[in-house]
């Protein structure tokens, strides 16, 4: 030890740093300069505004929205942090995202479900341009187009899809085989399957109408998405804006009445009798126990079903809603997408970690573990036997984003659909209300 005094951060002060002359000394210019510097150091030391020459690694705050993925990314972060000493990535799963943007203190990197609400940050220019990154060139064009269906910002590629979930009808292969059933490819074939299951004393669909999101995500999205051009419909609806109504060329009522009517017919004739009091958790357990032939849920339910019956023999197929088998498509959503805010103070460090996450061995391993579909040109195809039937639809871009997800959350679509399947409302009045809500919201915006 040199015996020299230390600053509050453990840095030794030099003799000159500590040499503050007494008032009796005569100040020379150089001596005065040294004294002023020393005094400034002491003042800043007290206020905490100066540190030693070694400030440590740059901290990058990484926001993740998917609870199930926390263990995977926590391990990745540990590996990344231990591989270098210049950056320290910190996992954030609890911050208020909107408040962070409003206060100018958003996370440095986000990996979130991408939907209409998140798109609002993009269309306001709050997300930085990532188009110069090699990773942007690896994204499948048809997947990047899903981002643009919600919003875009001129001259920027602000969001890079990381994982896509393909949702469809989950079916019990053993029940289908025992009843001699084939996967239906048209709506009339679907009704035949339902009638045969019902005649055998088996509920065709297990429904969970107690939770409104399950009605919206499965019943509404699958029936509407299987019969109309979802992206085209919303493009026209957005162009009409406040002119949406009973006499407009496109509206919820005029475009979706047939589809939603079929939704109510299926939900009333071919579901479990206690559907109104059953929730998502009930549905997973019941379906695992073989209490129905089909279940309108996504791959996120597969893991929950496996907790009750790990040997359940399941598959997935798109819900056919027309008499043309070529119309079949699967519902998809961008389960995770990466972005970096303009307001981030550590953009370069965040971009480096983003590139690390997009390495083929990392992104492919994540999607395999989480039952997701890859978003890049070098992505591995799915191999899980419960998903393989959906791979051809994904490869040919025979998919649509859920129509319920293109409606702002200020419109209670989930509750409207729940009212329909539980018998509390009519199809025409409900869709007319949706039209009025849309026009009113367009006027405010």
Query: What SS3 state is found at 59?
Result: strand
pLDDT tens for 98-109 read 888 888 899 999
Q: If you average pLDDT over residues 11-17, what whole number do you get?
A: 38
Q: What is the pLDDT of residue 45?
A: 44
Span 343-359, mean pLDDT? 97
Model confidence pLDDT, tens digit, residues 142-153 = 999 999 888 888
pTM of the model: 0.84
Nearest to 371 by CA among 305, 291, 320, 288: 305
Report the share of the chain in percent with pLDDT over 90.
75
Same-domain status, 68 and 193: no
Q: Are residues 307 and 378 in the same domain?
A: no
pLDDT of 69 > 70? The answer is yes
Is the pLDDT at 49 greater than 50, yes or no?
A: no
What is the pLDDT averaged over residues 200-211?
98
pLDDT score at 215: 98
Predicted confidence (pLDDT) per residue in 406-433, tens digit: 998 899 999 999 999 998 789 999 999 9
Q: For residue 54, what pLDDT is reported?
A: 52
Asked if 285 and 420 sit in the same domain, the reply is yes
* CA 74/CA 79 separation, integer angstroms: 9
Instruction: Say if residue 196 is in the same domain as residue 110.
Output: no
Tell whether 290 and 317 lie within a shared domain. Answer: yes
Q: How far apart, in whole angstroms, are the C-alpha atoms of residue 16 and residue 22?
A: 14
| Separation between Cα atoms, residue 158 and residue 139, nearest integer Å | 13
Residues 147 and 69 in one domain: yes
Tokens of 305: 């079903």
Specify whether 305 is located in the same domain as 190: yes
In sequence order, which residues have a C-beta less than 8 Å from that of residue 47 and are 6 or more positions away? none
| Domain match, 80 and 127 both | yes
| 237 and 307 part of one domain | yes
With a cut of 70, say whether residue 133 has pLDDT above it.
yes
Q: Which residue among 399, 419, 435 closes a domain?
A: 399
- Tens of pLDDT, residue by residue over 264-276, are 999 999 999 999 9
Clarify whether residues 141 and 250 are in a common domain.
no
- DSSP strand pairing (58-64 vs 87-92): parallel
Query: What is the token pair recorded at 61?
Result: 């705050």
CATH number at residue 89: 3.40.190.10
Number of CB atoms found within 10 A of residue 359's CB: 11
Residue 95 and residue 161 in one domain: yes
Per-residue confidence (pLDDT) for residue 94, from 0 to 100: 87
Q: Are residues 66 and 34 part of one domain? A: no
The model's pLDDT over 356-387, given as tens digits with 9 standing for 90+, comes to: 999 999 999 999 999 999 999 999 999 999 99
- The pLDDT of residue 445 is 64
Residues spanned by the domain of 46: 1-54
Domain count, the chain: 3
> What is the spatial distance between Cα 314 and Cα 312, in angstroms, rounded to a whole number?
6
Tens of pLDDT, residues 228-265: 999 999 999 989 989 998 889 999 999 999 999 999 99
């Amino acid at each position: 030890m040199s015996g020299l005094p230390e600053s509050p951060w453990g840095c030794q002060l030099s003799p000159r740093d500590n040499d503050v002359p007494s008032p009796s000394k005569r100040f020379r210019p150089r001596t005065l300069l040294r004294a002023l510097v020393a005094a400034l150091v002491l003042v800043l030391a007290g206020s905490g505004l100066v540190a030693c020459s070694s400030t440590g690694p740059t901290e990058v705050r990484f926001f993740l929205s998917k609870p199930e993925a926390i263990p995977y990314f926590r391990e990745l972060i540990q590996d990344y942090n231990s591989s270098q000493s210049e950056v320290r990535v910190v996992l954030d799963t609890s911050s208020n995202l909107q408040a962070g943007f409003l206060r100018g203190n958003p996370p440095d990197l986000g990996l979130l479900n991408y939907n209409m609400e998140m798109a609002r940050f993009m269309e306001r220019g709050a997300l930085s341009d990532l188009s110069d990154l090699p990773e942007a060139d690896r994204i499948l064009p048809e997947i990047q187009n899903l981002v643009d269906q919600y919003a875009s910002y001129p001259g920027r590629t602000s969001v890079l899809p990381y994982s896509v979930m393909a949702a469809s009808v989950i079916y019990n292969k053993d029940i289908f085989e025992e009843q001699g059933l084939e996967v239906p490819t048209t709506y009339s074939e679907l009704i035949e399957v339902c009638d045969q299951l019902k005649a055998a004393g088996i509920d065709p669909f297990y429904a969970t109408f107690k939770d409104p999101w399950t009605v919206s995500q499965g019943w509404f999205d699958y029936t509407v998405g299987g019969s109309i051009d979802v992206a085209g419909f919303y493009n026209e609806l957005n162009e009409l804006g406040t002119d949406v109504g009973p006499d407009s060329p496109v509206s919820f009522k005029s475009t979706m009445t047939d589809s939603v009517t079929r939704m109510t017919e299926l939900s009333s004739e071919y579901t479990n009798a206690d559907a109104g009091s059953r929730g998502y958790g009930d549905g997973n357990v019941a379906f695992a126990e073989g209490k129905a032939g089909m279940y309108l849920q996504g791959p996120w339910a597969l893991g929950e079903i496996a907790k009750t019956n790990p040997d359940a023999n399941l598959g997935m197929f798109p819900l056919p809603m027309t008499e043309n088998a070529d119309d079949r498509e699967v519902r998809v959503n961008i389960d995770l997408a990466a972005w970096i805010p303009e307001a981030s103070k550590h953009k370069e460090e965040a971009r480096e970690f983003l590139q690390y996450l997009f390495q083929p061995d990392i992104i492919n391993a994540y999607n395999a573990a989480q039952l997701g579909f890859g978003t890049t040109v070098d992505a591995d195809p799915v191999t899980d036997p419960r998903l393989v039937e959906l791979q051809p639809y994904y490869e040919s871009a025979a998919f649509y984003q859920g129509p319920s997800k293109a409606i702002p959350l200020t419109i209670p679509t989930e509750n409207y659909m729940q009212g329909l399947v539980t018998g509390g409302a009519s199809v025409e009045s409900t869709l007319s209300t949706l039209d009025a809500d849309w026009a009113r919201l367009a006027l405010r915006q």
